[in-house]
Amino acid sequence: MENAYKFLLNELKNINSVVVAVSGGPDSMALINLMSEIKSKLNINVICAHVNHNVRQESFLEKIEVEKFCIKNKIKFESMIIEKYGDDNFQTEARNIRYKFFDDVVKKYDSKYLLTAHHADDLLETVLMRIVRGSTLKGYSGFSKKTYNGNYYILRPLIEVSKEEILKYNVDNNVDYATDLSNYKDTYTRNRFRKYIVPELKKEEPSICKKISKFSNSLLEYNEYVEKQVNKEIINVYVNNVLLIEKINDLDHLIIIRIISRILECEYGNKINLINDSHLDAIYNLLKSDKANAMISLPNKLKCIKEYDKMYFKNEIKKIDEYNIEIKTNIILNNGNKIMVVDSSSLTNNFVCRLNIEEINLPLFVRTRKDGDKISIKGMSGTKKVNDIFINEKININERKVWPIVVDSNDLIVWIPGLKKSNLDKSKEEKYDIILEYC
């Protein structure tokens, strides 16, 4: 826990507020207790975000106990109860509701950080489950210590701390916590890995958590390198939302698959879990086949269409012209293009925008043009009408209706993707926190 403590002291200095996701279990109670020690040293506002999933009677008592802890330690307390579930997968739906609540709390307190209590055993279980299920290079790495989530960062300070260390910390510091008995049921895949597989691995290799952590970090490094190669190649083989078959087929299998995955991530956004290896293989095989014209049906009415030397994706769902969308993850736009939130980019042209969160008001939105829109163009004084830019760039009237305009929460235009950047755009050498790509 000492390393987690040092990490938080360093990461959260000069920060006004931080939100901590707390269920009431041993891991999250250890984390909120750690933050109660740190908040006075950093003079930071700590907010506890608690979700009652409403599937166990005990959860109502757990909410009361977490709130008592917060009152005692002068921590702000925010909570919600999930009144009703739909027909989706329970765990996926609960997670989506939970993180929507966290998003709202982070926004309410104008925070830039959400802390979760994922620990080394969670990472081990996740990596093992994805190896069994199948995933991408990044997916096999599990999750990282720090992740950008569109408008804020998710920190997992306990990612290198084992379950045993957390339980010892709770005993040593008299931290009370609840025990969720559903975690011991064999109904869920993770529980079976936790109960039967992980203990055997720890018997075989007591330091398995540390080794998996190193494995995860190595995969993340390899993935970063692959993504850099993809960024270099995708602009040559994916032009105006069309894959140029002859060019992409000259690339290595790994890069081709990753380019296909990148396109599908843009198309599906947070529903990318609908796509699996069989879909990627089918698209790859179609790229390599001698068929001049063919089509593959993908989930959610998306079609992959091959026409001679070109391949493109088409959604059967009719799209409206006008839109205003908060940028959290990759977004499919009404003109068929996408805006992606990326960790790194080799681009420096008008198809990428780098922003410093201290100079803008989050969250960011992408919307269609409004009458009177103006932008302060990078490298120029004064402002220029967006409509004049469209005319100068020879953008036809229909395209102007759906062309994306990226603004902050004060409706200040920060970027016209593919055309112009504002004076808020940063060079690769300057300080920036957000990278957006347009493709």
Tokens of 5: 């403590």
Q: What are phi and psi of 374, to 5 degrees?
A: -135, 155
Residue 135 is predicted with a pLDDT of 78
Residue with tokens 């993180």: 99
The model's confidence at residue 38, banded by pLDDT at 50, 70 and 90, is very high
Percent of the chain past pLDDT 70, that is, above it, reads 97
| 271 in the same domain as 168 | no
Do 328 and 420 share a domain, yes or no? yes
The pLDDT assigned to 377 comes to 94
Q: Are residues 282 and 332 both part of a single domain? A: no
Task: Output the six-digit token pair for 95.
Answer: 């997670």
Residue 220 included in any domain: no
CB 347 within 8 A of CB 437: yes
Q: What is the pLDDT of residues 100-124, one digit of tens each?
A: 999 999 999 999 999 999 999 999 9
Inform me whether the pLDDT recorded for 219 exceeds 70. yes
d(CA 94, CA 145): 22
Same domain, 177 and 32: yes
Strand 153-155 relative to strand 146-148: parallel, antiparallel, unpaired? antiparallel
Question: Are residues 287 and 371 located together in one domain of the fold?
Answer: no
Say what the pLDDT of residue 320 is: 53
The verdict on 329 and 406 lying in the same domain is yes
Residue range 122-150: mean pLDDT, rounded: 89
Identify whether residues 210 and 272 lie together within a single domain: no
Among 290, 315, 340, which residue terminates a domain? 315
At residue 96, what are phi and psi to the nearest 5 degrees? -60, -45
- CA distance readout (Å), 257 to 121, 207, 261, 286: 30, 34, 6, 12
Q: How confident is the model at residue 89 (pLDDT cuts 50, 70, 90)?
A: low
Cα–Cα nearest to 35, from 15, 51, 52, 53: 15
pLDDT confidence of residue 92: 75
> pTM of the predicted model, to two decimals?
0.66
Give the burial string for 184-204 (b: 16+ CB within 10 Å, else e).
Answer: eeeeeeeeebbeeebeebbee
If asked whether residues 421 and 295 sit together in one domain, one would say: no
Mean pLDDT (whole number) for 218-228: 93
CATH number at residue 16: 3.40.50.620
Q: How far apart are CA 339 and CA 436, in angstroms?
A: 7
pLDDT, greater one: 94 or 418: 418
Please report whether residue 288 resides in a domain: yes
CB 71 within 8 A of CB 77: yes
Mean pLDDT in residue range 47-58: 89
Tally of residues, the chain: 439
- Residue percentage of the chain with pLDDT more than 90: 71
- Would residue 224 count as lying in a domain? no
Domain boundary among the residues 274, 296, 315 is at 315
Residue 327 and residue 318 in contact, taking contact as beta carbons nearer than 8 Å:
no
Q: Where in the sequence is the domain holding 191, given as residue range(s)?
A: 2-214
CA 167 to chain centre: 29
Strand-strand pairing, 365-367 and 324-326: antiparallel
Domain boundary residue, one of 315, 334, 360: 315
pLDDT for the residue 394:
82
**In the predicted model, what is the mean pLDDT of residues 265-282?**
84
The pLDDT, as a whole number, for residue 87 is 61
Amino acid identity for residue 266 in this structure? C
Same domain, 196 and 307: no
Mean pLDDT of the 82-101 span: 79
Q: Which residues of 294-319 are buried (b: 16+ CB within 10 A; e: fewer)?
A: eebebeeebebebeeeebbbeeeeee
Same domain for 259 and 355, yes or no, is: no
- Band (pLDDT 50/70/90 cuts) for residue 315 is confident
- The enclosing domain of 376 has a CATH number of 3.50.40.10
- pLDDT of 319 > 60? The answer is no
Mean pLDDT in residue range 145-158: 92
Same domain? For 271 and 167 the reply is no
Q: Of 398 and 343, which is predicted with more confidence?
A: 343
In which residue are the tokens 């009719």 written?
318
pLDDT for res 125: 95
Q: What is the mean pLDDT of residues 350-355?
A: 95
For 235-265, what is each residue's pLDDT tens digit? 999 998 999 999 999 999 999 999 999 999 8
Kindly state whether residue 231 falls inside one of the protein's structural domains.
no
Q: What is the pLDDT of residue 333?
A: 83
pLDDT over 70 (residue 302)? yes
Asked, for residue 252, whether it belongs to a domain, the answer is: yes
Q: Is 232 inside a domain boundary?
A: no
Question: What per-residue confidence (pLDDT) applies to 318?
Answer: 47
Question: To the nearest whole number, what is the mean pLDDT of the chain?
Answer: 91
Tell whether 24 and 133 lie within a shared domain: yes
CATH for 256: 3.30.465.60
Look at residue 180 in the predicted model and tell me its pLDDT: 79
Q: Is residue 235 part of a domain?
A: no
Q: What is the pLDDT of residue 269?
A: 76
- The mean pLDDT value for 34-59 works out to 91
Nearest to 121 by CA among 177, 160, 169, 95: 160
- Give the list of residues 6+ apart from residue 242 with CB closer than 8 angstroms, or none: 310, 311, 312
409-419 pLDDT per residue, tens:
999 999 999 99
Does residue 187 lie in a domain region?
yes
Number of domains in the chain: 3
